[in-house]
């Protein structure tokens, strides 16, 4: 009875182990009619020990971070140098750099956990098992190579596809580096065409499983396309594109951009990476992430990816930002946010208007020490901001008079709220400010009116309480002098027949006063 195939899971969580186990047990057993033994060590460190003691046939290694790279390096110890490392690394989205390092260290493939399916896991594990089996057979049947290669090897299609596959593996992105370095220590029997064909087919099968579209062109025409490339552009079979120009997949405007902007860089650097607008077979277009590489033998390696969803999300995010900025610029209130260095990172137009700047862009990256506040106001603003950062608590409805360097002042009502991350750490300040100068002026006017009315009421009340004319005049003059802060207050009774100008010229106005306070004589 055939011994079970051992699959070692290192670094996976409990929930992930259940998923991987279900994929392996259900899908792989139904396809290959063999038993699978799933090995799950308690920790990463013990995973390395289990690798040495249990001798698994294939390893699923969850990289998570660079500690996974260290585990991969440890797995190398004790393995025969001729054999490829039967490791499939599992990464999160946007961790392609870790996957690339793992492939360079000898891992045979990688899978993105967010996009993992049972079918993808089946194909990848099957390819690793098959490849390792073929290499092991080749080593067991090891024969020194002839001085000259087998003439059949130089005949198409084997030589052509071998060269293309090696160029593809060396030149493409990490997603197509499935078998790099796995044959560097082999001494194969070059006359054993069957084994060589099997290994080459396995490599091409692995490339076919890549999620990115991969194509090879010679003199502007396709000589190879994988299934993902065909599906991405809406074609059913390779024959629809093989031998045809790539130009049919792009509009005239995009072809002009290739000629003007892309080809000069590709010729100079022999590589280019960026974005393009591609065209499907039905005429619809999509956003394409594109990587082009020219090999030493003149082949053009094309790796492409449909990034329509990503670009749509970017456009939606940009539209949302524009809408938010439009709303902020419309409201009649200043809105701003600062970082921990108290530099403005965002602001609306009303904020610039308050302090007399032409545009909000002038404030981005600027601190209050570069704005036209006078020293006292600057110190006041900075202390208030630091208080919010230190305490992590909001300061609301604070009314203060702000002085500008030109001597003018404005009244502002401010609210400042701490900005916090998911861990509760304060990383900035969100603030609003509303100019209330007119309101404060109106309040001052109303206050004076209220004081005047209060004075009139007091005088009237005192008058009602006294029938003595001298007392009435005394109360009235004293109260009025206190409010007006005057030196002298007098109450006069004039007669139309009297020429007041004569009194003023003679300086005898005090003599005609019914009451004068303080008492003074004029000569």
- What single string gives the DSSP state of each residue in 285-316? EEEEEEEEEE-TTS-EEEEEEE-HHHHHHHHH
Rounded mean pLDDT of the chain? Answer: 76
Model pLDDT, residue 162 = 37
Mean predicted confidence (pLDDT) in 409-425: 89
CB 338, CB 431: distance < 8 Å = yes
Q: Are 69 and 101 in contact (CB under 8 A)?
A: yes
On the question of pLDDT at 192 being above 60, the answer is no
Most confident of 69-83, 132-146, 288-302: 288-302
Token digits for 97? Answer: 């750099």
Place of tokens 């005192």: 462
pLDDT for the residue numbered 15? 82
**Band of the pLDDT at 183, cuts 50, 70, 90?**
very low
Q: Is the pLDDT of residue 197 over 90?
A: no
Burial code (b: 16+ CB inside 10 Å, e: under 16) for 446-466 equals eeeeeeeeebeeebeebeeee
- Under the banding of pLDDT at 50, 70 and 90, the label for residue 496 is low
Judge if the upstream peptide bond of residue 157 is cis by omega within 30 degrees of 0: yes
Confidence band, pLDDT 50/70/90 cuts, at residue 479: confident
pLDDT above 70 (res 148): no
If you search the block for the tokens 């009502």, which residue do you land on? 413
CA distances from 100 to 63, 84, 88 (A): 12, 16, 12
Distance between CA 32 and CA 26 in Å, rounded?
11
- The C-alpha atoms of residue 58 and residue 75 are separated, in whole angstroms, by 12
3-state secondary structure at position 504: helix
Tell whether the model's pLDDT for residue 246 goes beyond 50.
yes
pLDDT of residue 223 exceeding 70, the answer is yes
Instruction: Look up tokens 């460190």; give the residue.
Output: 45
Strand order in the sheet with 58-62: 36-39, 5-10, 58-62, 87-91, 109-112
pLDDT at 3 over 80: no
Give mean pLDDT, residues 488-511. 56
Looking at the chain, the domain(s) classified CATH 3.40.50.2300 span 1-153+176-186
The pLDDT of residue 362 is above 60: yes
Residue 133 pLDDT > 80: no
Tokens of 86: 């039967």
Domain with CATH 3.30.450.20 in the chain: 330-435
Q: How large a percentage of the chain has pLDDT more than 70?
A: 72
Residue 360 DSSP one-character state: G
Q: SS3 of 505, please? A: helix
The region of weakest confidence among 74-78, 102-106, 107-111 is: 74-78
Terminal alpha carbon distance of the chain: 139
Q: What is the pLDDT of residues 262-317, one digit of tens each?
A: 999 999 999 999 999 999 999 999 999 999 999 888 889 898 999 998 888 888 88
**Sequential DSSP letters for 5-71:** EEEEEES--HHHHHHHHHIIIIIIHHHH---EEEE--SSHHHHHHHHHHH--SEEEEE-TTHHHHHH
Burial of 120 (0-12, 13-18, 19+ CB in 10 A): middle
Band (pLDDT 50/70/90 cuts) for residue 417 is very high
In words, the CATH class of domain 330-435 is alpha beta
Q: Over 90: is that where the pLDDT of 260 sits?
A: yes
Whether residue 255 has pLDDT greater than 80: yes
| C-alpha torsion sign, points 111, 117, 123, 128 | positive
pLDDT score, position 318: 86
Residue 233 vs residue 179, higher pLDDT: 233
Check residues 354 and 417 and name the one with the higher pLDDT: 417
Calculate mean pLDDT across residues 329-348: 88
Q: Tell me what pLDDT residue 160 has.
A: 39
Point out the least confidently predicted range of 131-135, 388-392, 446-450. Answer: 131-135
Mean pLDDT of all residues in 514-522: 43
Average pLDDT over residues 332-341: 90
Domain 1-153+176-186 fold is: Rossmann fold (3.40.50)
Q: What is the distance between the alpha carbons of residues 116 and 90, in angstroms, rounded to a whole number?
A: 9
What whole-number percentage of the chain has pLDDT above 90? 19
pLDDT value of residue 282 = 94
Q: Which residue has the higher pLDDT, 165 or 286?
A: 286
């Amino acid at each position: 009875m055939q011994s079970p195939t051992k699959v070692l899971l290192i670094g996976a969580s409990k929930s992930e182990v259940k998923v991987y186990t279900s994929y392996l047990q259900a899908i792989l057993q139904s396809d290959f009619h063999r038993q699978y033994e799933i090995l799950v060590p308690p920790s990463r460190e013990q995973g390395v020990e289990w690798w040495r003691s249990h001798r698994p046939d294939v390893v699923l290694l969850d990289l998570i971070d660079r500690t996974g790279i260290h585990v991969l390096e440890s797995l190398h110890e004790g393995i025969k140098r001729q054999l490829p490392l039967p490791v499939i690394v599992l990464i999160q989205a946007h961790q392609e750099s870790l996957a690339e390092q793992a492939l360079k260290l000898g891992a045979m493939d990688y899978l993105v956990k967010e996009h993992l399916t049972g079918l993808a896991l089946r194909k990848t594990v099957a390819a690793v098992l098959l490849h390792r089996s073929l290499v092991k057979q080749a080593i067991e049947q090891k024969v020194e190579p002839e001085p000259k290669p087998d003439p059949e090897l130089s005949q198409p299609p084997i030589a052509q596809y071998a060269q293309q596959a090696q160029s593809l593996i060396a030149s493409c992105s990490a997603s197509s580096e499935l078998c790099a370095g796995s044959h560097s220590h082999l001494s194969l029997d070059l006359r054993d065409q069957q084994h060589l064909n099997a290994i080459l087919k396995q490599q091409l099968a692995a490339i076919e499983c890549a999620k990115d579209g991969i194509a090879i062109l010679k003199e502007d025409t396709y000589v190879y396309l994988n299934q993902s490339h065909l599906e991405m552009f809406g074609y059913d079979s390779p024959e629809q594109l093989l031998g045809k120009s790539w130009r049919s997949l792009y509009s005239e405007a995009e072809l002009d951009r290739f000629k003007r902007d892309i080809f000069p860089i590709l010729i100079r650097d022999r590589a280019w990476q960026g974005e393009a607008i591609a065209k499907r077979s039905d005429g619809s277009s999509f956003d394409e992430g594109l990587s082009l590489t020219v090999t030493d033998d003149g082949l053009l390696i094309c790796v492409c990816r449909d990034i329509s969803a990503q670009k749509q999300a970017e456009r939606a995010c940009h539209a949302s930002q524009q809408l938010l900025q439009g709303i902020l610029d419309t409201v009649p209130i200043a809105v701003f946010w600062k970082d921990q260095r108290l530099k403005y990172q965002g602001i609306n137009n009303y904020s610039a208007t308050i302090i007399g700047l032409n545009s909000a862009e002038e404030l981005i990256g600027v601190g209050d020490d570069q704005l036209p506040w006078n020293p006292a106001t600057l110190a006041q603003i900075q202390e208030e901001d630091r208080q919010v950062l230190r305490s992590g608590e909001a300061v609301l409805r604070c009314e203060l008079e702000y002085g500008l360097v030109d001597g003018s002042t404005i009244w502002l009502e401010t609210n400042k709220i701490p900005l916090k991350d998911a861990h509760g750490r304060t990383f900035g300040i969100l603030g609003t400010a509303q100019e209330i100068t007119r309101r404060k002026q109106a309040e001052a006017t109303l206050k004076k009116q209220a004081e005047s009315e209060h004075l009139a009421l007091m005088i009237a009340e005192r008058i009602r309480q006294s029938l003595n004319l001298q007392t009435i005049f005394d109360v009235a003059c004293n109260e009025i002098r206190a409010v007006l802060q005057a030196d002298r207050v007098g109450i006069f009774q004039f007669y139309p027949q009297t020429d007041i100008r004569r009194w003023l010229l003679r300086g005898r106005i005090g003599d005609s006063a019914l009451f004068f306070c303080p008492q003074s004589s004029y000569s």
